[in-house]
Amino acid sequence: MRYFCAAVLAALFFVLGPVSGALAQDITLRSRDGGVELTGTLLGFDGEFYRLRTQYGELTVDGSGVFCEGVGCPSLTDYVADLSISGSATIGTVLMPALIESFALRTGLSAVREDLDPALFQYKLTDTKSGKLVGRFAFRVSNTDEGFADLLGDDADIVMALREIRRSEVALAREAGLGDLLHPNRSRVLALDAMVPIVAPINPVDAISPTDLSRILSGNLVNWRELGGPDAPVTVHLRDAGSGLSQGVEDRLLTPARSELRAEVIRHSTNAELATAIARDPFGIGLASFSEIGNAKPLGLTGPCGFQLRAARRSIKTEDFPLTAPMFLYLPARRLPALAREFLTFTRSPPAQIVIRRAGFVDQAPEEVPVDLQGNRFTNAILVAEGEGGLDELRRMTRTLSEMRRLTTSFRFEAGSSRLDAQSRSNVQQLARSLESGAYDGRKLVFVGFSDGQGPAQSNMAIARKRAETVRRAVLEAAETADTNQVEILTEAFGEAMPMACDNSAWGRQVNRRVEVWLK
């Protein structure tokens, strides 16, 4: 009896995933000595733990300590791990299937896809030696909004999202007993994408400022002549309103400008349709996924100072391109089946990063970039160096970094906040795991802080150094098992010495405020 009660209490810290309607039946769990029994509606079973709705509330019980009685009891010997995934078609159509097939190949499983309808399919995972079915991963591909709706309706275990979860969704999830989806363990960045402004190849415009892009989206800039193009009206193309990509455009470009999207927008249901429409529209402009630009022409992002940033694999990975869009998986506070947990672990592995790149997205595998391959970054630093103090700082930075390599793992903060942004929070975990594995043993790792150019240089230097210390502390706290005696971990700061974008706009200042990682 005591064993059963202890098992119940200990298991309250775990939550299981949703189950099909066939399993939502009353069962009785009886302790092995027969002294205690618990009756309720079976909500989930992951091969190890039962989740029940009882008169005492929702409870989770360790299956090793009980017998299950009732027609709804799952099989312990022929258990099949069921996982339901819903949300972004951009993630679900190509990337997730590629990852599942690679995962199966590396774990001795065969993965057979079954298409149920255009938006529904599942993978049946079978042990290649025994021929036994061990898992069913079901997908519903639509958009980010639908993914969160399915999660809140208990119809999905995992959400595929092209934007961060919104406050209203966080509140609804908490009310539904799904936990705090803002917690670091409740989301992960699967891969990286970007929102890239595109036009037709015959359009003479080659770059645009985020400010002008916002003006176009809000309807305050309506003629290409204002951008050096033809005397013709601007046509705006976007993905459908429920798409995470389209919502990300509004969140990143319109909300900060306190503007609303213009009424005349041509919507497209897929990324491919959007790119094709833009390529054919000589006066059109759209925000496309970096993974699917098609025959359209991508525009660079620029500003009055002349600095220009273009979407490329490396600039997206470092988040130097300001419209980088992380691709999220959101997981509620539920204990997923062991097979599902193994798959999620695989998505962060080096082989998975190769799959991500082959699928056309930007992976998160860190790369070391020597100084001579860092584009015009040092040129920008020379251009903004002013006075003897500025030149001295430039020389100090050059001496310090010239013999080192920049890691593509960078860190940035949310606008007006000391909280790291979503991609950077994921980077903390990634760098921590690298330290734990000994990837940088015997080397020097330096967190280098940079700031925007607003305000006194001395204050900017202090802010940059504080940011570097904040990131260093966060990484070391996450790297619990790392032997820090094997790697020299330092901080440095160069303030406003190396800007990435113009300081005369909010987006430019945001890009310039960063912490980079350099290695020797």
Closest listed residue to residue 265, CA positions, set 277, 255, 256, 276: 277
334 and 212 within one domain: no
108 and 22 within one domain: no
pLDDT computed for residue 504 by the predictor: 74
165 and 60 within one domain: no
Last residue of a domain, one of 15, 47, 69: 69
Structural tokens at position 332: 């509620």
Last residue of a domain, one of 44, 69, 94: 69
Q: 3-state DSSP call for residue 208?
A: strand
Asked, for residue 355, whether it belongs to a domain, the answer is no
How many residues are there in the chain? 520
184 and 261 within one domain: no
238 and 107 within one domain: no
pLDDT computed for residue 515 by the predictor: 95
How many Cβ atoms from other residues are within 10 Å of residue 491's Cβ?
19
How many Cβ atoms from other residues are within 10 Å of residue 486's Cβ?
12
| Local confidence pLDDT in tens for the 520 residues of the chain | 334 444 433 333 333 344 444 446 888 998 877 788 889 988 878 777 888 888 888 888 888 788 888 888 887 777 889 999 999 999 999 999 999 999 999 999 999 999 999 899 999 999 999 999 999 999 999 999 999 999 999 899 999 999 989 999 999 999 988 889 988 788 889 999 999 999 999 999 999 998 999 999 999 999 999 999 999 999 999 999 988 889 988 888 898 888 999 999 999 999 999 999 999 999 999 999 998 999 999 999 987 777 788 999 999 998 888 899 999 999 998 888 889 999 999 999 999 999 999 998 999 999 998 877 766 676 666 666 665 566 787 888 888 888 899 999 999 988 777 788 888 888 998 899 999 999 999 999 999 999 888 888 888 899 999 999 999 999 999 998 999 899 999 999 998 888 877 777 777 788 889 999 999 9
pLDDT computed for residue 375 by the predictor: 64
Asked, for residue 358, whether it belongs to a domain, the answer is no
Asked, for residue 52, whether it belongs to a domain, the answer is yes
512 and 450 within one domain: yes
47 and 35 within one domain: yes
The CATH number of the domain where 433 resides is what? 3.30.1330.60
Q: State how far the alpha carbon of 445 is from the alpha carbons of 284, 306, 409, 429, 520, in Å.
A: 46, 32, 12, 16, 7
483 and 373 within one domain: yes
**H-helix or E-strand spanning residue 137:** strand 133-142
* d(C-alpha 104, C-alpha 127), whole Å: 9
Asked, for residue 125, whether it belongs to a domain, the answer is yes
pLDDT computed for residue 145 by the predictor: 93
* d(C-alpha 366, C-alpha 370), whole Å: 13
pLDDT computed for residue 72 by the predictor: 83
pLDDT computed for residue 103 by the predictor: 97
Asked, for residue 351, whether it belongs to a domain, the answer is no
- Name 267's bridge partners: 238
Asked, for residue 323, whether it belongs to a domain, the answer is no
pLDDT computed for residue 252 by the predictor: 86
197 and 181 within one domain: no
The CATH number of the domain where 131 resides is what? 3.40.190.10
**H-helix or E-strand spanning residue 173:** helix 167-175
Closest listed residue to residue 441, CA positions, set 485, 489, 476, 487: 487
pLDDT computed for residue 492 by the predictor: 94
The CATH number of the domain where 33 resides is what? 2.30.30.100
Residues of the domain holding 410: 366-519
Last residue of a domain, one of 28, 49, 69: 69
448 and 498 within one domain: yes
92 and 35 within one domain: no
512 and 372 within one domain: yes
38, HSE (Cβ side, Cα atoms, 13 Å): 28
User: What Rg value do the Cα atoms of the chain yield, rounded?
Assistant: 26
Asked, for residue 322, whether it belongs to a domain, the answer is no
Give the 3-state secondary structure of 436-475: HHCCCCCCEEEEEEECCCCCCHHHHHHHHHHHHHHHHHHH
pLDDT computed for residue 386 by the predictor: 64
Domains in the chain, number? 4
Asked, for residue 385, whether it belongs to a domain, the answer is yes
Helices 387-401 and 377-384 sit at what angle, rounded to 10 degrees? 160
Q: What is the pTM of this model?
A: 0.80
